[in-house]
Each structure stands twice: as structure tokens, then as C-alpha cells.
Chain A
């Protein structure tokens, strides 16, 4: 166990030496990897934030049924009874016109204007949750309720939210595809870097093979080099995305003051950050492994 640890510490040390030996090249490599990775990660962060925000707005699509303005209590009770009997409806809530007016007063700040109205312009309304939230079921339900007596208008809201959601899901997929492609590119870049290293160290590798070095001993510094390069790239991407989020929040902060809303870009979570560091590191390791095992086999002695 101790020998194993010492061997790995040795490999790690040798990898660090190689990085220190070419600091500029290593830094540039990390920068390239970091900038490339920051694209999908930044997109992912943006999409996650928008998605969370859109979920706050509407959890599930709802149907709003507005009664005619002159509908009386009995007619409303009738509709309520029908709603209760319809199995496609999971829940409903009556919003009486007085309550609706009070809410409008509270949220819009137009107290003076509303107080000046001669009568309440708002109808009584039902907010309905369907048992089956699929679009076809919702539309069927909407069409049915529309035909009930004294129902003036039925609105299937949240359609825009679903469109937004679909858009976000699409963006998320774009981020995933971009991330996968750049992950492959990272493996390829590491493969090439390590290939060059193996070729320039060919003589050294031949000598230590003659002295009795195992393949694992020869491979270790290269593998650690690949992993460290990936890790550094991940760290650069983390910095870029975090700095981007910080700057975006500063300008969003001004917007928030104006609109008194909660516009804020959350930074990467600790879990995301860890993944952003470890994924490129393992991809780097993998690329290095592919390269070094392939090229060591060519230096067969």
C-alpha cells in the first residue's frame, strides 16, 4: 500500500515537473480547454436558472373559466357542482370577483384608479387543475367547459410557459451536445499533447524500460499530466462562468431595482462545480491513457 502510494506520488510529482518545465504552454492549453468548456457550462447555467424561474411562474398548466359578469350565485353554484362531478378535474378554486379586485388592487398599485371605478369590472372565475396535464386532454376539457351555460370565456393559460419550457429543454439539449462534443475534443487534444510528449521522451522511455520500468511506471506521469491539464481547464471554465454570472448579476441587479422583481443568476452549485472540475480531469486522464498505451506499444523493447 505504501509502495503503491509512493509510486503514485512519484508519478504525480513527475507530471508536475513536466508542467513546471513548460509553464506557458501548459497555461495556454488550460486556457483553451477552459474557454471551450465555459461555453456549454455557461449555457447550462443560464438554462437551469431560466427553468427554475419558469417553474416558479407556473407549476402546471391551469384552465381559467370566467363567468359572465351578470351571473348570479345560483348559476355559479351550478357550475361548481358540474366541476365537482367531472372526473377529468383534479382540483378547482373559485376566485370571487370581490377577491379578484382586492388582489388586483394589492399587486398593481393602481388603488386610486380602481377605487374610482363605478363598479367591479372583473367576473367570478374558476381556476381549474386538470387530472391529466397533457395538452390534448387540457384542450378537450377547455372545449367542454366553454359550452357550459353562463361561462363567458375559458382560457388555457401556461401555453407560453410550455413553449418556454420546450425552448429551454431544447437549449439544454444544445448545451449537452456542445458539452459532449467539447468533451471529445478535450480527449483528442490530450491525446495529441501526450503523443508529442511520448515522442520527445522516446529515448528516456527506452532507457527506463531497459532498466526494468513497468508500463504502469512509465504511464503514470503522462496520465497525471492529462488529468491535471483537464482539471486546470475545468478550473479556468469555472472561473470564466463564475465571473460571467457575477457580472451578469451586477447588471441584472439594476434591472431588478427598476422592475422590483427577482431577476438573479444563481452561481454554479458546489455539486456542479465539482463535476466541472472532475469531468475534464477524467477525460484528460482517459485521453492520456489512450495516447500513452498506444504509443508505448510502438516503442516496444
Chain B
């Protein structure tokens, strides 16, 4: 489903973020990408959704070479991902419901079906009672769960999370971990960049480990 072959990424200015990284991930896998800060975890995720393009090598997702996608094709490719960010990236000028409805609006989903799906997603993360609230009134853990709801509402094939528990206490972090596990159990491929050891121990996923931009272990599927 996803394969990196000999991928290198050098940023303008000379910083070498990734160095000849190759691995592949099958559909339905739960994979953690770990490593010290600056090891290249975020860059790896950015390459997957074409926020950055590889300097060399190829990133293939669902048979598409993401690094060579045209500008116009990028938005449609991104819709097969659900994205969870460490800083949530919620929109604070609209309600909880509207935040979750955003990916459906973007995909042009008709209204009534969309409302049903939004409520299902909110129910799944335990925020249904807050649907009319504004995100700013939610706690950090709730905001992260809201971000999860937004990531899965359009039923993406792949869930990408960048340090999803980075700002959370252990209890909240484990809640997020359980959510990730439950999505993975219904067939969603999940790729999580983290250095949260508790989460690692709890979920026991396959681990791809990076060190100074190079693959340290976990390359073979």
C-alpha cells in the first residue's frame, strides 16, 4: 500500500532530513515511526501527503508516485488520508460539529449523509454531547479526540498522526492510543510518528525507527 524506496530529503539550506530510506507498509498495518527529535519522523509523514517532495527516491501510495504528483492532483490524493496533528490544527471560529464536517464539505458530500457521519464520528470519540460547543472550550485531550474525529469522518484508508499524544497526560494519551487501535482494527492503516514509550508498550505495533535521517530498524515488512 505504501512504499518508500531509497528516499532522501534534503531541505534548502543543506539539512539532510532523510537519507536513503526504504520500507513498505501493507494495508491494515499499525506502524509507529520512532526516533529522537530531528530524526526525520515529521519529514517522513510530510512526504506521504506531498507537503514536501523527496529530493531523490520515490514514495508510492496506493500505486501513485506521490513525489511526482501534479499540483492539481494533490488535494484528491490527500483525501485518502486522515491527518492528526500534535497541535490539533482545529478551526476555532466554528463549532465542534463544523470542524468535523469540514473534510466532508471539501469532498462535496451531500448534507444529510454528512450530518449522520459527523455525529457517528463524534460519538466514536465520545464528544457527541459537545457538538454545538466551540473547540476552545474543550480540554487538550478532548481537542485531540476532536482532531481524531475530523481525521476519520470521511473514512480514509490511512490514518497519519504526528505526535498525537505529544501534549497530553498519560491517561489522555492512552485514550488516543485506544482510538487508534480501534480504527486499525476495522482495517484502517495507521502510521503514527511518536516517541511516547507508554503508547508503544500498550499497542505493541510494528516499529520503524529512524536515526539522523537513516533507517535504523523495522524496514522489512
- A and B found bound together: yes
State whether the Cβ of B83 lies closer than 8 Å to any Cβ in chain A: yes
User: Which B residue sits closest to A217, measured CB to CB?
Assistant: B106
Q: Please pick, from B78, B93, B108, B110, the residue contacting A211 in the complex, using a CB distance under 8 A.
A: B78
Q: CB distance A209 to B75 under 8 Å?
A: yes
Report B2 CB to chain A, min CB distance, Å.
Answer: 17
B103 x A212 contact (CB < 8 A): yes
Residue-by-residue, is B72-83 near A (CB-CB < 8 Å gives 1, otherwise 0)? Answer: 100111110101
Chain A residues closer than 8 Å to B159, beta-carbon distance: none
A211-B49 in contact (CB<8A): no
Complex Cα gap A2–B111 (Å): 12
**CB of A204 within 8 Å of the partner chain:** yes
Whole-angstrom distance between the Cβ of A225 and the nearest chain B Cβ = 15
A6 touching B108, Cβ below 8 Å? yes
A301 contact from B51, B93, B103, B110, Cβ within 8 A: B51
Q: Known: A6-B108, A7-B108, A214-B75. Contact between A208 and B102, CB under 8 A?
A: yes
Q: How many residues of A contact B (CB 8 A)?
A: 19
Query: Are A6 and B110 within 8 A (Cβ)?
Result: yes
How near does chain B come to A298, taking the closest CB pair, in angstroms? 14
Chain A: minimal CB distance from B199 (Å): 23
Question: Does A81 reach chain B (CB closer than 8 Å)?
Answer: no
Q: From residue A26, how far is it (CB to closest CB) to chain B in Å?
A: 17
A208 near B106 with CB under 8 A, answer yes
Does the CB pair A207–B89 fall under 8 Å? yes
Q: Measured between alpha carbons, how far is A45 from B10 in the docked complex, in Å?
A: 64
**Does B107 make an interface contact (CB < 8 A)?**
yes
A272 CA / B108 CA spacing, docked (Å):
38
* Cβ-defined contact, A211 with B83, below 8 A: yes
Q: Any chain B CB within 8 A of the CB of A102?
A: no
- In the assembly, what is the distance between CA of A207 and CA of B91, in Å? 8
Residue of A nearest to B83 (CB): A210
- In A282-301, the 8 Å CB interface with B consists of 301
How far is it, in angstroms, between the C-alpha of A4 and the C-alpha of B111 when the chains are bound? 14
Cα(A213)–Cα(B76), bound, Å: 8
Tell me, yes or no, whether A10 is within 8 Å of chain B by CB: yes
CB distance from B49 to the nearest CB of A (A): 7
Report the bound CA distance from A231 to B82 in whole Å. 39
Neighbouring A residues of B51 by C-beta, 8 Å: 210, 301
From 101 to 118 in chain B, residues with beta carbon under 8 angstroms from any chain A beta carbon are 102-103, 105-108, 110-111
A3 an interface residue at 8 Å Cβ cutoff?
yes
Interface residues of A in 18-62 (CB under 8 A from B): none
Q: Which residues of B contact A208 (CB under 8 A)?
A: 102, 106
Q: Is the CB of A212 within 8 A of B108?
A: no
Question: With A and B bound together, what is the CA distance between A179 and B110 in angstroms?
Answer: 43
Tell me the nearest residue of chain B to A211, going by C-beta.
B103
Q: Which of B54-85 contact A (CB under 8 A)?
A: 72, 75-79, 81, 83
The answer for the CA separation of A301 and B51 in the assembled complex, in Å, is 5
Given known A10-B105, A301-B51, contact A210–B110 (CB-CB < 8 A):
no
Question: What separation, in Å, do the CA atoms of A10 and B83 have in the docked complex?
Answer: 23
Minimum Cβ distance to chain A for residue B93 (Å): 8
Interface residues of A in 130-186 (CB under 8 A from B): none
Query: Digit string of A241-258 for contact with B (CB within 8 Å is 1, else 0)?
Result: 000000000000000000
Determine which of B72, B78, B111 lies in contact with A210 in the assembled complex, contact meaning CB atoms within 8 Å: B78
Question: Shortest distance in angstroms between A24's beta carbon and chain B's nearest beta carbon?
Answer: 18
Q: Which residue of B lies closest to A4 (CB)?
A: B108
* Cα separation A214 to B105 with both chains bound (whole Å): 11
| Closest beta carbon of chain A to B133's beta carbon, Å | 19
Bound Cα distance A214, B75 (Å): 5
Name the distance in Å between B149's Cβ and chain A's nearest Cβ.
13
Chain A residue at smallest Cβ distance from B82: A211
Name the distance in Å between B59's Cβ and chain A's nearest Cβ: 17
Q: Tell me which residues across on chain B come within 8 A of A209, comparing CB atoms.
A: 75
CA distance in complex: A240, B78 (Å): 50
Nearest CB to that of B99 among chain A residues?
Answer: A207
Residues of A with Cβ closer than 8 Å to B?
2-3, 6-7, 10, 203-204, 206-215, 217, 301
- List 28 contacting pairs A-B, 8 Å CB cutoff, sorted by A: A2-B110, A3-B108, A6-B108, A10-B105, A203-B89, A204-B91, A204-B93, A207-B89, A208-B102, A208-B106, A210-B49, A210-B51, A210-B83, A211-B78, A211-B83, A211-B103, A212-B75, A212-B78, A212-B81, A212-B106, A213-B75, A214-B72, A214-B75, A214-B76, A215-B75, A217-B75, A217-B106, A301-B51
Other A-B pairs beyond A211-B79, A211-B103, 16, CB < 8 Å: A2-B110, A6-B110, A6-B111, A204-B93, A206-B89, A208-B102, A210-B49, A210-B83, A211-B78, A211-B102, A211-B106, A212-B107, A214-B106, A215-B75, A217-B106, A301-B51
Q: When A and B form their complex, which 6 residue pairs have the shortest distance between CB atoms, in order from nearest? A: A212-B78, A212-B79, A214-B75, A3-B108, A213-B106, A212-B75
